[in-house]
A and B are shown apart, each in its own frame.
Chain A
Amino acid sequence: MPEPTDLNEHDIDYSDIEAKYQVQYDDGFDNVLVVDGLPIIDESKLERLRVKVAKEFSKKGVALKQEDIFMPWDNAAGKSKGFMFVEFKNYEDAELALVSMHNHPFDAKHTFKVNRFTDIEKYAELDETYVEPELEEFTSREHLRAWLADPQGRDQYVTYRGDEVLINWHGKPSQSEVAYKPDWKDFLYVAWSPLGTFVATLHRQGVRLWGGSSWKPQQRFAHPLVKLIDFSPCEQYLVTWSNEPIVVPEGAIQGPQYFSPDDEGNNIAVWDIKSGDLLRTFSTQNEGDSPTGKKQMQWPALKWSPDDKYVARITPGKAISVHEVPSMYLEGKKSLKIDGVVDFEWCPLGDKDKEDNSTATKAVKKTSRENMLVYWTPEVINQPARVTLLAFPSRTILRQKNLFNVTECKLHWQNQGDFLCVKVDRHTKTKKSIFCNLEIFRMREKDYPVEVVELKDTVMDFSWEPKGERFAIVSSNDPNLGNQGPGVTIKTDVSFYQLDHGKNDFRLLRTLPSRTSNAIRWSPRGRHVVLATVGSSSKSELEFWDLDFNSDDTHRRETQVDWGSGIQLLGIADHYGVTDVEWDPSGRYLATSASAWTHTLENGYAIWDFRGQELVKQIQDRFKQFIWRPRPPTLLSKERQKQIRRNLKEYSRAFEEEDAAEESNVSAELIALRRRLVDEWNAWRALRKKELGEERIQSLEGKADDLEEIEVWIDEVIEQIEEVIVE
């Protein structure tokens, strides 16, 4: 039993318990802000300032009571100290005020600087001594265009099948090999950037760019549930779109590469590829659109000027907004207000323009072409439809053309920006039938002369020859055209037109009637064109045409002896169920593919040469995508290119030797293999025959030799004439 002790209550040390149960007083300063940058005033103006400040805050939606403001006073000077403390109801209100009132211009001289009260202490304790930031070790990035240095000059392509992506080299049979087999997982599809530097994959979390010879991730853009992407022409920027509006969850990472709460609800984002920074977001919902009304979204939703300087966006029926990049400010602080505008396109830069641009920066004041865009507005009462050509940023109207009875216009630029074709679907007065006019603007001539080609049929497809003066159209007068049922293949005519320099207008070269072709694919170098029947369940023909069959490539334009005589069919091929047709960047090969996204019959791809000879065919279940890797424009100067063309024979000799060597190499290997197989077989046969015994063989062979000679007599009655002789 313990000894009873005389306990004095006060002697007991409760401090441990007290510490344990001490009430945690809230710091209580989370809802206090320090507002700096106030004017320094004396007593007389104090009341007015308080009222004014409270009003400013209330304007931004943060209610403020007079008693919540505490303004420190310099008693000695009898003036305020130029800052104040504001206590808000709660933390959220304080946050809101911080965001909305920081850098708020109070008057001409004073701008609010708002800080959290809790932060002030932190700032005060800041170490003032300057510490030089450590220089990051420079690591050179790998060469993103390494693939161009391939000694065999091969092109690459990517295939996507099932969950498997392959990047392949395409060359001679012995040189066609897998370049890289990535282990990218869970993405929608792959896409090359326009100059082939990156390959993009669309994941749930956003877009990822891969590149270089190591195929390491090069950049990423966090746009959740991204569905569509679009690169700017010079690969500097990326546009992404998701059908889900952007949501920024609480506690999400903030920074230049991430969405901020301001971006919530938008669908389109613009990114800088080099830094990975988010430049701006847009909403696809235009003001005034009914939120429920579902409209077909145009993609690309943002259109880039060919030099990556501007990005433009249309508000149908109202305006075109042109933003400067990378600042993303509206150029000239205002949109181009155009009533009724339906569609527009930037004029592409030709090779020559690009050269001019690059020299213009060095040699001062060499006039380079200004950016141009073309838009059209439909007919409204008392006003014809109109196509307008506009220079930008000067905003001068270069040319306008009025059109009548217009149903629809499509704007087609030739890829060098030499010509513009406006395909005008026109209706007759009764609006029952539709025919077509092609309004062709010649962009390199003074005052942009327009010439009209009138056609009686509906034009389904129009395509300029790249770098050329020709175009091809697919037209049809098939009665089934309007209501295409399943299994119905529309009969079409394909026509080629060419600029006649003598008369300065476009004349028909030749029409190929009664075809089923519905797609025109020009070789990127011009001259060759493939007509394909795509998306039909019964027809899948590919026709390979050469438009300069008679003339040599080097001096083609000059030797136009016979109009349209150079058009020659090189070959016909068939790829069952073809859904996509694409030329390789060199214009030597054509790839056709049947994608499982469209149908599931005989999915796979085939590669053809320009004459329609099949080189590769792969039938693969669940095959989805085939894309050639684009190539950037050549770095060789005009003179160098000319020189190479002149000495082509010398260069080709080296290549031909290489080809011959390889062929003999391959065939030698093959012959050796065959010889081995035959030797093995013969050895086995000889062994068995020996076992069988000589006499048996003889008896067997004797039987075979002992052939019966059968003679067949054939009486052929050629004619039978019955003559009745009457005596």
Chain B
Amino acid sequence: MTWDPAISRQFNLHINTKMRPILLQGHERSLTQIKFNADGDLLFTCSKDAVINVWYSHNGERLGTYEGNNGSVWTVDVDPQSKYMVSGAADNTLRLWEVATGKCLFTWEFPTAVKRVAFNEAGTQVVCITEQRMGHQCAIRVFNINLDEPTKQSKEPLYMFNPIGSKATVCAFTLTPNVIITGHESGKVALFNVKSGEEVDSNERAHGDVVTDLQMSKDWTYCITSSKDKAARIHDTKNLMVIKTFNTETPLNSAALAPNRPFVLLGGGQEAMNVTTTSARQGKFETRFWHKVFEEEVGRVKGHFGPINTIAVHPAGTSYASGGEDGFVRVHHFDDSYFKAKPYGDLEIID
């Protein structure tokens, strides 16, 4: 796969040069996940330095910090009302925070680290994945969130099961009640019924290597996954059919869908441990923009000097943020050319 600059010229897209990023310097170690809230005014970032930060997305001002974790924070998610936030960390805890005050409302403890958390659409349930380690199997738990009295939560999960086969790395709720979609270490993407722990459907060969990210579309009917196998794919969440494939030349850590525009954003780079053995320019630490339907690369944004670990797009599609192994978060607001460019001619594309 080679990068042909002719493509961007053809599409008249100059994302690379015109966008001024806001650099968020609030973490001392590499970023693990970043997330916009439903309104898009807040950006939550977590990193290996055990701190979660929240920022105003429009100007990059820091609103506050959530302190209390005793280990790398692997994952965060916010409820649709932006009232509560959950985080999962290497200190084997799942925490519920009050967004506005920064108070830790409740803490669940597990035998192993929490690798992924996600709210359901209504914000009433949380799913979490715990790591497979020290004789403990990888477990998926679903908790009911007591919204009335947030400090009083049930210690026991509503449902819990151990997914068979390869361990799960990423997960999210689907529109079907009690069914979640998961990405696995083997590259499998599957649907599980959390009630029974049964695998409803699976695509064993969705990816060739570990699935690193999974993000839902706005209406939750499809999702995008990224993988170390250098590809990102769009799946139909109903039947797990692969709709689109984006093949790059670098291992991918994150993939995001740009609402209202037919683009996907991919981020990755050579593994941190391998970076020193190659030249910096070989790492390919750029956010790549691909056309969602034509599967063609349309542009790149440089900036990070380490692999990109996580990418999130504003729910209204007006900006995006990337978090890197270098410890920085870069928030980019799209300029006019991004919205006006019609790389597909006048063809109408349904989001």
Assess whether B222 is interfacial by the CB under 8 Å rule. Answer: yes
Taking a contact as CB atoms under 8 Å apart, the answer to whether B282 and A602 are in contact is yes
Assess whether A338 is interfacial by the CB under 8 Å rule. Answer: no
Q: Mark A601-614, 1 if CB is under 8 A from B, else 0.
A: 11000000000001
Assuming A682-B350, A692-B219, is B345 touching A674 (CB within 8 A)? yes
Contact residues in B for A617 (Cβ distance below 8 Å): 2-4
Contact residues in B for A614 (Cβ distance below 8 Å): 5
Contact residues in A for B41 (Cβ distance below 8 Å): 710
Taking a contact as CB atoms under 8 Å apart, the answer to whether B2 and A618 are in contact is yes
Taking a contact as CB atoms under 8 Å apart, the answer to whether A674 and B218 are in contact is no
Contact residues in A for B271 (Cβ distance below 8 Å): none
Quote the shortest CB–CB distance from A580 to chain B (angstroms): 19
Q: Mark A683-727, 1 if CB is under 8 A from B, else 0.
A: 011101101100011001000100010100000000000000000
Task: Considering the complex, give the chain B residue whose CB is closest to the CB of A604.
Answer: B2
Assess whether A678 is interfacial by the CB under 8 Å rule. Answer: yes
Taking a contact as CB atoms under 8 Å apart, the answer to whether A671 and B345 are in contact is yes
Interface residue from A619, A675, A688 paired with B2 (Cβ < 8 Å)? A619
Contact residues in B for A686 (Cβ distance below 8 Å): 350
Contact residues in B for A576 (Cβ distance below 8 Å): 279, 281
Give A675 to B294 CA distance when docked, in angstroms.
Answer: 10
Assess whether B236 is interfacial by the CB under 8 Å rule. Answer: yes
Taking a contact as CB atoms under 8 Å apart, the answer to whether A689 and B2 are in contact is no
Q: Mark B239-265, 1 if CB is under 8 A from A, else 0.
A: 000010000000000000000000000
Main secondary structure on chain A at its contact with chain B? helix
Give A704 to B40 CA distance when docked, in angstroms.
Answer: 11
Taking a contact as CB atoms under 8 Å apart, the answer to whether B344 and A674 are in contact is yes
Task: Considering the complex, give the chain A residue whose CB is closest to the CB of B295.
Answer: A677
Give A257 to B64 CA distance when docked, in angstroms.
Answer: 87
Assuming A576-B281, A601-B279, A678-B293, is B236 touching A692 (CB within 8 A)? no
Q: Mark B213-248, 1 if CB is under 8 A from A, else 0.
A: 000001101100000000000001010000100000
Max chain B C-beta neighbours (<10 A), residue from A576, A677, A682, A710: A677
Task: Considering the complex, give the chain A residue whose CB is closest to the CB of B343.
Answer: A674
Task: Considering the complex, give the chain B residue whose CB is closest to the CB of A679.
Answer: B347
Contact residues in A for B350 (Cβ distance below 8 Å): 681-682, 685-686, 689
Taking a contact as CB atoms under 8 Å apart, the answer to whether B282 and A601 are in contact is yes
Task: Considering the complex, give the chain A residue whose CB is closest to the CB of B243.
Answer: A684
Give A708 to B81 CA distance when docked, in angstroms.
Answer: 13
Q: Mark A656-691, 1 if CB is under 8 A from B, else 0.
A: 000000000000000100110110011011101101
Assess whether B201 is interfacial by the CB under 8 Å rule. Answer: no
Contact residues in A for B348 (Cβ distance below 8 Å): 678, 682
Assuming A674-B294, A686-B350, A710-B41, is B218 touching A700 (CB within 8 A)? yes
Contact residues in A for B347 (Cβ distance below 8 Å): 674-675, 678
Task: Considering the complex, give the chain B residue whose CB is closest to the CB of A576.
Answer: B281
Contact residues in A for B351 (Cβ distance below 8 Å): 685
Main secondary structure on chain B at its contact with chain A? loop
Interface residues of B in 1-36 (CB under 8 A from A): 2-5
Quote the shortest CB–CB distance from B241 to chain A (angstroms): 9
Taking a contact as CB atoms under 8 Å apart, the answer to whether A708 and B219 are in contact is no
Contact residues in A for B221 (Cβ distance below 8 Å): 688-689, 691-692
Give A440 to B266 CA distance when docked, in angstroms.
Answer: 59
Interface residues of B in 50-96 (CB under 8 A from A): none
Give A684 to B244 CA distance when docked, in angstroms.
Answer: 12
Contact residues in B for A692 (Cβ distance below 8 Å): 175, 219, 221
Taking a contact as CB atoms under 8 Å apart, the answer to whether A697 and B349 are in contact is no
Assess whether B39 is interfacial by the CB under 8 Å rule. Answer: yes
Q: Mark B327-347, 1 if CB is under 8 A from A, else 0.
A: 000000000000000001101
Quote the shortest CB–CB distance from B122 to chain A (angstroms): 11
Max chain A C-beta neighbours (<10 A), residue from B5, B344, B347: B347
Give A618 to B1 CA distance when docked, in angstroms.
Answer: 9
Taking a contact as CB atoms under 8 Å apart, the answer to whether A678 and B218 are in contact is no
Give A682 to B243 CA distance when docked, in angstroms.
Answer: 12
Assuming A618-B2, A619-B2, is B349 touching A689 (CB within 8 A)? no
Taking a contact as CB atoms under 8 Å apart, the answer to whether A689 and B219 are in contact is yes
Taking a contact as CB atoms under 8 Å apart, the answer to whether A677 and B293 are in contact is yes
Taking a contact as CB atoms under 8 Å apart, the answer to whether B219 and A697 are in contact is yes
Task: Considering the complex, give the chain B residue whose CB is closest to the CB of A683.
Answer: B350
Interface residues of A in 252-270 (CB under 8 A from B): none
Interface residues on A, range: 20 to 34
Contact residues in B for A700 (Cβ distance below 8 Å): 218-219
Give A691 to B221 CA distance when docked, in angstroms.
Answer: 10
Contact residues in B for A678 (Cβ distance below 8 Å): 293, 344, 347-349
Contact residues in B for A710 (Cβ distance below 8 Å): 41
Interface residue from A674, A681, A688, A708 paired with B238 (Cβ < 8 Å)? A688
Give A708 to B5 CA distance when docked, in angstroms.
Answer: 40
Max chain A C-beta neighbours (<10 A), residue from B41, B281, B351: B281
Contact residues in A for B293 (Cβ distance below 8 Å): 674, 677-678, 681
Assuming A576-B281, A682-B350, A710-B41, is B294 touching A677 (CB within 8 A)? yes
Taking a contact as CB atoms under 8 Å apart, the answer to whether A681 and B345 are in contact is no
Interface residues of A in 383-414 (CB under 8 A from B): none
Taking a contact as CB atoms under 8 Å apart, the answer to whether B39 and A708 are in contact is yes
Max chain B C-beta neighbours (<10 A), residue from A576, A684, A708: A684
Quote the shortest CB–CB distance from A702 to chain B (angstroms): 13
Contact residues in A for B278 (Cβ distance below 8 Å): 601
Task: Considering the complex, give the chain B residue whose CB is closest to the CB of A700.
Answer: B219
Quote the shortest CB–CB distance from A667 to chain B (angstroms): 10
Quote the shortest CB–CB distance from A684 to chain B (angstroms): 7
Max chain B C-beta neighbours (<10 A), residue from A671, A678, A696, A708: A678
Interface residue from A601, A682, A708 paired with B349 (Cβ < 8 Å)? A682
Give A487 to B79 CA distance when docked, in angstroms.
Answer: 53
Interface residue from B3, B316, B349 paired with A681 (Cβ < 8 Å)? B349
Task: Considering the complex, give the chain B residue whose CB is closest to the CB of A617.
Answer: B2
Give A178 to B238 CA distance when docked, in angstroms.
Answer: 44
Give A675 to B347 CA distance when docked, in angstroms.
Answer: 7
Interface residues of B in 273-319 (CB under 8 A from A): 278-279, 281-282, 292-294, 316
Give A221 to B345 CA distance when docked, in angstroms.
Answer: 59
Give A582 to B292 CA distance when docked, in angstroms.
Answer: 39
Give A576 to B279 CA distance when docked, in angstroms.
Answer: 11
Give A686 to B219 CA distance when docked, in angstroms.
Answer: 12
Task: Considering the complex, give the chain B residue whose CB is closest to the CB of A618.
Answer: B2
Quote the shortest CB–CB distance from B96 to chain A (angstroms): 24
Task: Considering the complex, give the chain B residue whose CB is closest to the CB of A619.
Answer: B2
Give A292 to B351 CA distance when docked, in angstroms.
Answer: 77
Give A692 to B2 CA distance when docked, in angstroms.
Answer: 39
Task: Considering the complex, give the chain B residue whose CB is closest to the CB of A602.
Answer: B282
Contact residues in B for A602 (Cβ distance below 8 Å): 282
Give A576 to B280 CA distance when docked, in angstroms.
Answer: 12
Contact residues in A for B2 (Cβ distance below 8 Å): 617-619
Task: Considering the complex, give the chain B residue whose CB is closest to the CB of A620.
Answer: B2
Give A491 to B88 CA distance when docked, in angstroms.
Answer: 54
Taking a contact as CB atoms under 8 Å apart, the answer to whether B349 and A688 are in contact is no
Give A675 to B316 CA distance when docked, in angstroms.
Answer: 26
Give A704 to B3 CA distance when docked, in angstroms.
Answer: 36
Give A557 to B40 CA distance when docked, in angstroms.
Answer: 66
Quote the shortest CB–CB distance from B289 to chain A (angstroms): 17
Give A677 to B293 CA distance when docked, in angstroms.
Answer: 7
Give A685 to B292 CA distance when docked, in angstroms.
Answer: 13
Give A684 to B238 CA distance when docked, in angstroms.
Answer: 12
Give A689 to B345 CA distance when docked, in angstroms.
Answer: 24
Known: A619-B2, A691-B238. 4 other contacts (CB 8 A): A601-B282, A602-B282, A682-B350, A688-B238
A-B contact pairs, 22 of them (CB 8 A): A576-B279, A576-B281, A601-B278, A601-B279, A601-B282, A617-B3, A619-B2, A677-B293, A677-B294, A678-B293, A678-B344, A681-B292, A681-B293, A681-B349, A684-B236, A684-B243, A688-B219, A689-B219, A689-B350, A692-B219, A697-B219, A700-B218
9 closest pairs, A vs B, by CB? Answer: A685-B350, A688-B221, A678-B347, A681-B293, A682-B350, A677-B293, A617-B2, A678-B349, A678-B293
A interface residues with partner B (beta carbon < 8 Å): 576, 601-602, 614, 617-619, 671, 674-675, 677-678, 681-682, 684-686, 688-689, 691-692, 696-697, 700, 704, 708, 710
